[in-house]
Amino acid sequence: MTVETRQGQGSGQNLWRESRARNVRERLVRVVLRACAYISILTTFGIVFVLFGEAFTFFQDVSIVRFLTETQWTAGFATTPEDGEFGIIVLAWATIFSTIIACVVALPIGLGAAIYLSEYASAGLRRWLKPALEILAGVPTIVYGFFALTFVTPFLQGTILPGIQIYNILSASLVMGVMIIPTVASVSEDAIYAVPRGLREGAYALGATKREVATKVVVPAAISGIVASFVLGISRAVGETMIMAVAAGALAQLTVNPLESMQTMTAYIVQVTSGESPRGSLEYETIFAVGATLFVMTLLLNTIAYWFVRRFREVY
């Protein structure tokens, strides 16, 4: 403490004096900050390099055509590239399917919550409702996973869906949807709240009702932010791992029945890495091909979002 204070005073005395020490400090800070900016970019390059490098080895054993056209995934049982099937569509479809179900839950509820918080809720209510919603985002996903497996599935089994399997994509996706609500709500609420007051008051002056102001003026004005929140939510759903690994089972099958078990790309990677697949084995190589596919999917998603946000941004 005392040292800090003394330093503070020292720099105060030197504040107006050009000194070498000061220049060095300035430059040092700049270098450190630049390193911070570059470190994540470098990490991304490293990941891409490793991911696609290992995936390339895999595609020498199993052609990319087989990877894209086969309709079964039996990598865990294959000892040679010939006796297995490596149709990524099985895992990719499970990921897409679970994301769709989760979005059906999360996007409307998240947006509804955002509109309510920003347009309808009183300031006092908003002050504690928004942090409360954000607490949901802090729950570890493994907890959501066990919630799906030990509460939601038995509940569905006992009430409306007696035929549902114990490991199924529906419960996992529904709970994943709940998990994403705060992300969607929080980000789109920020966007909606940022819409200038003048726009609302202009609409009221023209005789619009509160509902008309919310849906026809405020939401369209905030659409780029809302879409950004949707994409953020979708990206989380695509990459979500623990909920799927715990509650959706490990049956890699191509189906549209949400009551059955399916294996998403992330859950497959967990299954392989939680064992000790020897480095260089075929099963080990598959996770890089799957990981690369996942990477391409999220990259595509983010690119579309980036384009959309730029295209439709309203500037005030």
Partner 1 sequence: MGGSGGGGVSGEIAIEGSSTVFPITQRVAESFNQDNPDVNITVGDAGTSEGFVPFCEGETEISDASRPIEAEEIQACEENGVEYIEVPVALDGISVVTNTQNDWAQDITLEELKQIWEPDSQVENWSDVRSEWPDQPINLFGPGTESGTFDFFTEEVNGEEGASRTNYQASGDDNVLVQGVSSDPNAMGYFGYSYYAENQDTLKALPVDGVPVNPNTISSAEYPLSRPLFIYVSTQALEENEAVGPFVEFYLQDGNLTQFVEESDYVALPGNTENETRAQFEDRTTGTIYTKQGKLPGGDIESALKQSK
Query: 207 near 138, Cβ under 8 Å?
Result: no
Smallest distance from partner 1 to CB 153, Å: 8
13 contributes a contact to partner 1 by CB under 8 A: no
Helix (H) or strand (E) holding 89: helix 88-115
DSSP-derived secondary structure letter, 121:
S
Site map for partner 1, 227-266, x if CB under 8 A?
Answer: ----------------------xxxxx-------x-----
In the block, residue with structure tokens 């390339």: 56
- Residue 230: both structure tokens together: 């949707």
CA 139 from centre of chain = 15
| Interface residue with partner 1, options 11, 14, 79, 273 (CB under 8 A) | 79
Using a 10 angstrom Cβ sphere, with 0-12 exposed, 13-18 middle and 19 or more buried, the burial of residue 100 is middle
Smallest distance from partner 1 to CB 166, Å: 4
Q: Which is nearer to partner 1, 76 or 81 (CB)?
A: 76
Query: 106 near 181, Cβ under 8 Å?
Result: yes
Smallest distance from partner 1 to CB 62, Å: 16
Q: Give the 3-state secondary structure of residue 249.
A: coil
Q: Which is nearer to partner 1, 61 or 85 (CB)?
A: 85
155 contributes a contact to partner 1 by CB under 8 A: no
161 contributes a contact to partner 1 by CB under 8 A: no
158 contributes a contact to partner 1 by CB under 8 A: no
76 contributes a contact to partner 1 by CB under 8 A: yes
Query: 248 near 172, Cβ under 8 Å?
Result: yes
278 contributes a contact to partner 1 by CB under 8 A: yes
Smallest distance from partner 1 to CB 239, Å: 22
Smallest distance from partner 1 to CB 93, Å: 15
| Interface residue with partner 1, options 4, 18, 82, 276 (CB under 8 A) | 276
Query: 99 near 91, Cβ under 8 Å?
Result: no
Query: 174 near 152, Cβ under 8 Å?
Result: yes
Smallest distance from partner 1 to CB 236, Å: 25
Site map for partner 1, 164-203, x if CB under 8 A?
Answer: -xxx------------------------------------
> What whole-number distance in Å separates Cα of residue 37 and Cα of residue 182?
28
> What whole-number distance in Å separates Cα of residue 226 and Cα of residue 237?
17
215 contributes a contact to partner 1 by CB under 8 A: no
Sign of the torsion angle spanned by Cα atoms 293, 299, 305, 308 = negative
Binding site for partner 1 (CB under 8 A): 72, 74, 76-77, 79, 149, 153-154, 157, 165-167, 249-253, 261, 271, 274-278
